[in-house]
Structure 1
Amino acid sequence: MAVDDYFAVEWRSPNSANYSMYFRKGDKYISPFHDIPMFADEANRVYNMVVEVPRWTNAKMEINTKEPLNPIKQDIKKGKLRYVHNCFPFHGYIWNYGAIPQTWEDPNHVDNRTNCKGDHDPIDICEIGYRVAKRGEVIQVKVLGIVALIDQGETDWKLLAIDVNDPMTKDLNGA
């Protein structure tokens, strides 16, 4: 399936607690968590990535796994919208940040490498190519590596990847 088949639809104002981004395929609303395939090309190990936070932005956005249709929403902690800190001289995330559809870190399973349970979210991905993606964009990526983080006692896997259309893709390979 071509990534152009998916359309993101924004509802309400960004940087507000009631902002939501929904997804459509044709005239039907879909879930980016359940209805977009994990693989764009399984034989060549090319994955789909749902962009939640474009490079150089700092609103902490994520696929909401608890709401119907799983829209992208801004994360809220203790009643406040969450933002990542800038790391001078950069503003916000230094990569395109998102999730791999149809993946989930099981909060009931203790990982034998981290000795922690999963964080109850889709697997995160950091896309390091040159292009600044758009929130809600579905891009095809090649995985280069993976890092396990422990966040508040939970395993939080981060894939490192590059857009298959990036000029550097042919020069970069995973383990």
Structure 2
Amino acid sequence: MSFTVEQRGNLNTSSYRLFFKDADGKYISPFHDIPMYADEEQTLFNMVVEVPRWTNAKMEIATKEALNPIKQDVKKGKVRYVANVFPHKGYIWNYGAIPQTWEDPRHKDADTGCCGDNDPMDVCEIGTKVCSRGEVVKVKVLGVLAMIDEGETDWKVIAINIEDPEARSLNSISDVQRLKPGYLEATVDWFTRYKVPDGKPENHFAFDGQFRDKDFAVETIRNTHSFWKALVSRQSDAVGGLNCKNMRVSSGESPYRCSEAEAKAVLDKTSPCGSDEPVPSTVHQWFYYERKK
């Protein structure tokens, strides 16, 4: 199964959108129409890459827009970039989401004691390749970190592209600790501090910041998939303006199924692809602060 992307608007502006197409060239939603499993028998998952490693633009699946294109997050009228908090540069993994998952904001997790953040599950892909925005990669799950972001559960799945040269050696979170010493600690540090330059407090974690193993991670993904199924079948009401329009979920399972004409009409309302705007020079600055013990 292959997918392509089509850019609309201008990169580094609020008009930028990256829409997805299937192998037949039909527009689809990366949130709802790309399967969660790349290979269910081997427990491999699809990952939609939102942010390539080392970049700063805070890109995300637009869960509240029709067809859920990737867009740059906007705050106070300006597109957002994550700061370079010493010693990190941009995102330190390929960052993205597992399609057909949803962290239900009305479900209080028994382990974290907090409800979901109303988004698909996030993925940190730790392989050697720098992926492209909008790329759909098959990943092997290794573990998961439970971040608590402003009182909400925000799972961070640790995974590796199955085509990566290191994939054969990395099969568990303990393998990451053994073969990439310091990487998991850097991951916790990154998520702890990345919002501080924006004037927000450090993030906290369930399980004292310890990673849960592969089995725990896979079970958590499956749970969020069941929440997503309830969402698109309208057994669970969408909250926070979520858009559930889809092209591939069977009409018997989803009342949100739309036609090709409706999908094309969504594209027709967006700006045509234009020239990239320059990235502000401040994005390349480094932010240093001494952590509180």
TM-score band, normalised by shorter chain: over 0.9
Secondary structure of the residue aligned to 2:60 is strand
Tell me, in whole angstroms, the C-alpha distance in 2 between the residues paired with 1:96 and 1:120.
21
Partner of residue 146 from structure 1, selected from 144, 147, 154: 144
Aligned to 1:55: 53
Percent same amino acid among aligned pairs?
Answer: 63
Shift of 1:138: 0.2
Shift of 1:87: 3.4
Deviations 1:8-48 (A, max 9, x none): 11111111011100000122100001110001001101100
Higher strand share: 1
Deviations 1:126-152 (A, max 9, x none): 000000000000000000100100001
Tell me, in whole angstroms, the C-alpha distance in 2 between the residues paired with 1:75 and 1:104.
19
Gaps of 5+ in 1: none
Shift of 1:79: 2.4
Q: Does residue 9 of structure 1 match 2:6?
A: yes
Aligned to 1:156: 154
One-letter amino acid matched to 2:153: T
Aligned to 1:77: 75
Q: Does residue 24 of structure 1 match 2:59?
A: no
Tell me, in whole angstroms, the C-alpha distance in 2 between the residues paired with 1:167 and 1:47.
18
Deviations 1:61-87 (A, max 9, x none): 110111110000111123221111113
* TM-score normalised by length of structure 1: 0.95
Shift of 1:97: 0.1
Aligned length: 172
One-letter amino acid matched to 1:159: V
Looking at CA atoms only, which structure, 1 or 2, has the larger radius of gyration?
Answer: 2
One-letter amino acid matched to 1:34: H
One-letter amino acid matched to 2:160: I
RMSD: 1.1
Tell me, in whole angstroms, the C-alpha distance in 1 between the residues paired with 2:124 and 2:88.
16
Tell me, in whole angstroms, the C-alpha distance in 1 between the residues paired with 2:35 and 2:69.
16
Tell me, in whole angstroms, the C-alpha distance in 2 between the residues paired with 1:61 and 1:129.
20
Moved over 4 A (4+): none
Partner of residue 123 from structure 1, selected from 121, 124, 146: 121
Aligned to 1:86: 84
Shift of 1:173: 1.1
Q: Does residue 137 of structure 1 match 2:139?
A: no
Tell me, in whole angstroms, the C-alpha distance in 2 between the residues paired with 1:64 and 1:163.
24
Tell me, in whole angstroms, the C-alpha distance in 2 between the residues paired with 1:160 and 1:121.
17
Q: Does residue 64 of structure 1 match 2:58?
A: no
Shift of 1:89: 5.1
